[in-house]
Amino acid sequence: MRILLSNDDGVHSPGLVALYEGLKSLGNLEVVAPDRDHSGASNALTLNRPLTVEEHPSGFRSIDGTPTDCVHLAVNGLFPESFDRVVSGINTHANLGDDIIYSGTVAAATEGRHLGLPAIAVSLVSEGQNHFETAARVVRMLLESERPLSLGPRSILNVNVPDVPWEELAGFRVTRLGNRERAESAVPMTCPRGKERYWIGAAGKGGDAGPGTDFHAVAQGYVSLTPVHIDMTRHEALVSLRTWADSLPDVHGGGV
């Protein structure tokens, strides 16, 4: 098995090293990750400049771009051989609920899927203990499963692991993404040169975090497994939208 590893915390992140250590016995690994922290990068793709690839003494490669750039370039040009799988992480913080729309970790996995590869995003719901080895062992167990995992088209697996020793994991839970209440207000500040600036506010609290959600599973000590897809069409709305569109004035009838 030939596996591509990436992340959004950067090539020197301890979570990435732990993932590499945990998976290296599974086959042939390549690591291609951003040269610096890109948390919050979402699926951003760098189109206005060429990217530079650097190979480190460890054999890891870094790119001066986003997580999506890394996976795109690795799968689509850097290596002559193709990959069987993409694993992104281990992120040093949770990627739960709505927040994953901003996540670079999840984006690296979805880019892999976009390019035709089964992909997993894995995050540690860190409380400062940094049990990356638990998360790495979870990923290895998932990859070693003899039953094939089929999520359907255009989907990846988003995994969040409680920050505890392996023995303290409660088990696995398949979950849906919860969602948070609205984010807190932007935080204004005056910089030392007297200019007013704004920080994006902290993520919202609670919201839909009840049973069945990823928030709930990890709070109970379970590994959360969420099937995540990248088909953004809201198929359920197609019919009602057609009815509505039919009520629009004829573009040739004037009236606007």
Q: Which residues are annotated as a binding site for a divalent metal cation?
A: 8-9, 39, 91
Angle, helices 132-144/14-23, rounded to nearest 10 degrees: 40
Residue 233 CA to residue 207 CA, distance in Å, equals 24
Question: Is 41 within 8 Å of 66 (Cβ atoms)?
Answer: yes
Whichever of 28 and 141 has its CB closer to a copy of itself, that residue is: 141
Nearer to a copy of itself, 45 or 219 (CB): 45
DSSP string computed for 52-109: -EEE-TTS-EEESS-HHHHHHHIIIII-SS--SEEEEEEESS---GGGGGG-HHHHHH
User: Residue 78 or residue 219: which is nearer to a copy of itself going by CB?
Assistant: 78
Q: What is the DSSP letter of 116?
A: T
Nearest-approach distance from CB 208 to a copy of itself, in angstroms: 11
| Smallest gap from residue 11 Cβ to a copy of itself (A) | 9
Q: How far is the CB of 141 from a copy of itself (least distance, A)?
A: 5
Q: Tell me the closest approach of the beta carbon of residue 176 to a copy of itself, in angstroms.
A: 4
Q: Would you say 2 or 46 has its CB closer to a copy of itself?
A: 46
- In the numeric block, which tokens belong to residue 240? 């009602």
